[in-house]
Structures are given as structure tokens and as C-alpha cells.
Amino acid sequence: ELLVALFFLSLAVISPNRSDGVLELIENGTIVTALENVNLEELTFKKRHINQSVSTTVKFRINSLPTPTWSFKWLLDGHELKVTRYTSTLPSKPGNVYTTELESDSSVNLTLHLQDKGLIAGNYTVVFSDASGATPDSSISGFVNAPPILPLFSKDRRVLEGDRLSLFCEVTGYPKPSQVHWFFAYIQPDMMEDKSALAEARDRLEELVLNSNVSRFITNSVTNDQLLFTELPSDYNGLYKCKVDGDDGGDETLILVNVKDRWAALWPFVGIVIEVTVLVTAILLYERHQMRSKPTKTDVVTGQTTAVAASPNIKRTSAAQVQQNNTAVPVITPDPNADVNVEGNRTTGVEFGSAKHDELRQRGASRC
């Protein structure tokens, strides 16, 4: 069935002049591509890309004169495509996908224009409808051809050991290639940034051998266009290449997969914890040593007492002087019958008390 489909597809590509009576395919389109050098880390290789400065067209003919009830619907690979329709003057910026119409005596030339980001290879189908019913609905397909192009992986893929990893080499271009081929070369984890190691790995790339326990191929639009690892082992750390071939040229792309140890992110934290532990232990030991070498309060008091007793220069206080200092001053009770002055003080008591105090001071001074 696949061979039959490819046979009819080749007829469509080689013989574009097809018609269903109302619509007729006049010319298919072709996207211009080129190879250029690209970089992945320290690796340089040639990669195919679309030349967006060159537009392309697909031309149809409608074998009927236009009427106000005409309408068009466009499909790209079976999915509806938004196309701007111009029937008269073309603006300076018509857009990336649009159509123009040119009337002749008994037909209309319908041209689909693709440019810039609208340059997508594939099967373009136009569905013609006449709301008046004068012309039956009809459709026809045209093709925009391009060599197969693979995506560019500008950065390496970092993944933890044992995690899931999916590498998808999506193929654009038309017609599609039959299969995507995968290649692999192992690189030691500590050599992933070494330029010579990367170049050496590229030279020894070999076709990838799957381990059915951890990896398998998945087919999306092209056979084996996706590589899936359910649990990525460290043995698959290194350089990958996916490659496709086509009649008008092929393409290839490189992928770096960096498998990290699951506990690699924990080691810096463990190192910090160890450093802090050592630092705190050193501080505690130092403080403990300082506390042991410093004299206690009891030792200080004992030392001072001993020093006072042993010093011959310190004068001893006489018992008489101590007794004099401890002598209490008698309290004089004022006479309740004494006269009171204007301020409310008892005159006789105050004077007597003052005289008594003066006498006591004089006695103390004479004894000294």
C-alpha cells in the first residue's frame, strides 16, 4: 500500500497538469534551500536551511468565469490554512500566504503565493465552492516540494541518570524521507566540554544499537523520527546524530546529551555543611580553652586576700580608731517646752543640738 501511494504521489509531482473539470493544477512550487555551517558547542557542521528571501508559488486554473458567489477553502496536509484572497490591486505588504486571480477569456488563473515564514513544504489543497449552485463543488491539490530538513539543537540536553529522555528529529520537507537514521558515540562525562574529545567522538559515530530495556524508536510523521529513553543510563552520555536522505539532498543534525549523576547537585551542599561543622567545632574548642585558662572569681578573691596579708607596707588600722569610727552619735531629743521661732523650729533645741554636734566633731579631731 505504501508503494502504491508513493507511485501516485510521484505521478502528481512529475505531472502537475491535472484537472477535475472545474479546477486544474498548472504548476507545483519548490522551496529553495541551502547548506551552511552551524555550531554546536565546539563542533561545526553543515546544516540545511530554507532560503526565506526566495518566495514560491503554486498555480491553478479555474475553468469557469468568476461570480460573486465564489468561495475558496485551503488545506495544508489536511489542516485548514488561512489564506488572504486578493482579486484586484495587491498591497505593498500582502502577507506570507495569499492568492491572486487573473481572468482570461473563459477561465481564471489562481496563484497561491508563499513567502518568508509561510514557506512550508507540503500538500496544498484548494476547495472551490459556488453558493449559487451553478458550479458543483470541487477540489484539487498542488505540492510545494523541498528537501528534508531536520531541527537544529543549539544547546546540549542535560538529564539526570535514570530519568526519561526524548529526542525528536522532526522532518520538514516534501516528499518525506522513508526513515530517520540514528548514530551515537560515547563521551566521558568529564570530557563533555573538551573540544578535541567532541571532535574525536564525531569521527567515531556509529549506528545506534537500542537497548530494549531502556530505549526504543517511535514513529510520528517519519519512521523512527523519535528516540525515547524510559530510564537513561550513564552509558548513553555523549554525541548523537540523526540523518535523513532525499532525492534533492539530505540533512543531518547533532545532539549532545549530558547525563548527570543523580546526586551531583547534592555534593556542593554536603561540602558546605562539612565546612560549617568544622568551623563551629573549632570555635567551640577555642572558647573552651579560653575558659579553662582564665582564673575564676574565687581564685581572684583569695589571691587578693593573701596579697594584703603578706604586704609589709600596708598600715594596720588601730582598734581605737575602729572603735572611734564605730561610735554612734547620740540623738538629742528636743525639749517640748522650748520656744518656737517664726519658721516653726524650736529655737532652744536647735541651738543645743548644733552646739553638741560641734563639740563631738572637735573631740574626734583632737583624738586623730
pLDDT at 241 over 60: yes
pLDDT at 262 over 80: no
Average pLDDT (43-49) is: 94
- Least confident range of 23-27, 121-125, 265-269: 265-269
- Say if CB 348 and CB 337 are below 8 A apart: no
Average pLDDT of every residue of the chain = 81
pLDDT band at 51 (very low <50, low <70, confident <90, very high): very high
CA 238 from chain centre, in angstroms, equals: 22
Residues in CB range of 111: below 8 A, 6 or more apart? 57, 58, 59, 60, 99, 100, 101, 102
pLDDT at 292 over 90: no
User: Whats the size of the chain, residue-wise?
Assistant: 368
Radius of gyration of the chain (CA): 52
* Burial class (CB within 10 angstroms; exposed 0-12, middle 13-18, buried 19+) of 232: buried
- Least confident range of 107-111, 249-253, 295-299: 295-299
Average pLDDT (210-214) is: 89
Average pLDDT (289-313) is: 61
Ramachandran bin of 187, using left for φ above 0, alpha for ψ from -120 to 50, beta for the remaining angles = beta
| pLDDT number for residue 237 | 97
pLDDT band at 299 (very low <50, low <70, confident <90, very high): low
| pLDDT number for residue 356 | 55
